[in-house]
Amino acid sequence: MALTVTAFRRTTPSRTPLGHRMAAFAGAAALAVATLGVAAPGSASAAITPSQETASAAAPGGCAYASSSNRPTLKRGSTGAAVKQAQCLSNVWGGVPKLAVDGQFGAKTQTKIKWIQGCHGLVKDGVIGPKTWNALYYPVPDCYDPYPG
């Protein structure tokens, strides 16, 4: 059996203004990955290993009310720092209205959590368990479920 090797010619990026902008963007993205360890969501460089999960999820959006490893099951009536963390993460996540970060898991928090669960294809029970915590720390880019009003 013969093996055929085909050589491919390397092409250079277009020298149009758009080509320059795209090359500059690619360079900036590579620099960000190399320097900061960040990458665009969905890119191969953005994959999170289990050992990086806790460190990278420490404070998205500045939410630092509780450690990202502190993920107790929360439900209506729960209180404390973990509730504040969930409320803050849900505000970073999106949706209107923004929740008061008061550490009280009430009706508004429950409604927003149910909406986030629906966006992720989870059971809409309003309870924050392991799957809902993951949804809060790693949200889908867009949700097409209307926010309950």
Which two three-digit tokens encode residue 1? 């059996």
Cross-strand pairs, 135: none
What is the Cα 30 distance to its own chain's centre?
20
Q: What is the pLDDT of residue 59?
A: 61
Q: Is the pLDDT of residue 109 over 50?
A: yes
Q: Is the pLDDT of residue 83 over 60?
A: yes
The Cα–Cα gap between 18 and 108 comes to 46
pLDDT, tens digit, 9 for 90 and up, residues 33-82:
444 444 444 444 344 333 334 444 456 778 999 988 899 999 999 999 99
Q: What is the pLDDT of residue 96?
A: 74
For range 72-97, the mean pLDDT = 92
The Cα–Cα gap between 127 and 17 comes to 51
**Contacts with 127 (C-beta within 8 Å, 6 or more apart), sequence order:** 73, 74, 75, 113
Most confident of 7-16, 75-84, 88-97, 130-139: 75-84
Q: Check: pTM over 0.85? Answer yes or no.
A: no
Query: Which of 75, 68, 47 has its CA nearest to residue 136?
Result: 68
Written as one letter, the residue type at 66 is A
- Determine what percent of the chain is predicted with pLDDT higher than 90: 42
